[in-house]
Structure 1
């Protein structure tokens, strides 16, 4: 089984990413279950604006990401909170994924069917549940199965404050929730692999 983590931080590599650090807890648990996990930092790629899976222009890296999405049974979208909303990188990723709504497999199923998805959020201000709701809702629209408690987040309440990598407070809860998230994603992905959804009725 394969998993793809799309880290939608605004920080380019090799800058440390709070969001990637928390997502690492989910990655570690998935790997304990034998899942092959790949982490992609979307901001390192040239992802053009658009709502198609094909390249918008020369150098557009989205087709590479799209191929990785289709190769993975588990997707984790990880985003920081900015102004109480998902990052602009996360929004661009979701906009490009919109094309998957009209893509089907050989059996007529939307290509996101029988794949599961979850969300990781970091930020030093409130808004995590809003970000989780926006991203989870979009992924469900596209066709992903979003299990119960398929998310984790870290923040220290409203207003400015330290970053995840700078403060130990709250980490134990976020890590425990992240491990539960990974277990739920793996469990539901395994169930769908054993008994996949069919094409929607006409």
Structure 2
């Protein structure tokens, strides 16, 4: 089984990313369960704005990410919180994924059917549940199955404060929740692999 983690930090590699660090807890747990995990830092790629899976212009890296999406049963979108909302990178990723609404497999199912998704959020302000809701809702619209408690976050809100990498408070809870998230994603993905959902009624 394969998983794709799309880190939607605004920080380019090799700058340390709080979001990457917390997502790493989920990655480690999935790998312990035998899942092959690929991590993409979207800001490092030339992903053009748009709502299609095909390249918008020469050099557009989205088709590569789209191929990884179709090759994975598990998706994790990881985003920092800015102004109480998902990052602009997360929004761009979701806008490109919008094209998947009209893509179907050989049995007529939306291509996101029988795939599961979850969300990781970091930030030194409040708004985590809002970010989780926005991203989870978009992924459900596209056709992903969102298991119960398929998220984790680390926030110290309200107001500004230290970053995840600079603060130990709250990490134990976030890590426990991240491990539970990974287990729930893997469990539901296995269940869907054994008994896949059929195409929607015509």
- Pairwise TM-score range, normalised by the shorter structure: over 0.9
1:151 aligned partner: 151
For residues 12 and 106 of structure 1, the distance between their equivalents in structure 2, rounded to whole angstroms, comes to 38
- Is residue 187 of structure 2 the alignment partner of residue 183 of structure 1? no
For residues 133 and 197 of structure 2, the distance between their equivalents in structure 1, rounded to whole angstroms, comes to 24
1:81 aligned partner: 81
- TM-score with structure 1 setting the length: 1.00
Look up the SS of the partner of 2:81 in the other structure: strand
- Deviation, 1:141, is 0.1
Q: Could you list the runs of 5+ residues in structure 2 that have no partner in the other structure?
A: none
For residues 44 and 59 of structure 2, the distance between their equivalents in structure 1, rounded to whole angstroms, comes to 13
Look up the SS of the partner of 1:3 in the other structure: strand
- Deviation, 1:98, is 0.1
Look up the SS of the partner of 2:48 in the other structure: coil
Tell me how large the CA RMSD over aligned residues is: 0.3
Q: Could you list the runs of 5+ residues in structure 1 that have no partner in the other structure?
A: none
User: Segments of 4+ in structure 1 off by > 6 A?
Assistant: none
2:115 aligned partner: 115
For residues 83 and 106 of structure 2, the distance between their equivalents in structure 1, rounded to whole angstroms, comes to 41
Cα deviations across residues 151-185 of structure 1 (Å, max 9, x unaligned)? 00001111110000000000000000000000000
Look up the SS of the partner of 2:30 in the other structure: helix
How many residues are treated as equivalent by the alignment? 202
2:132 aligned partner: 132
2:99 aligned partner: 99
2:162 aligned partner: 162
1:2 aligned partner: 2
2:70 aligned partner: 70
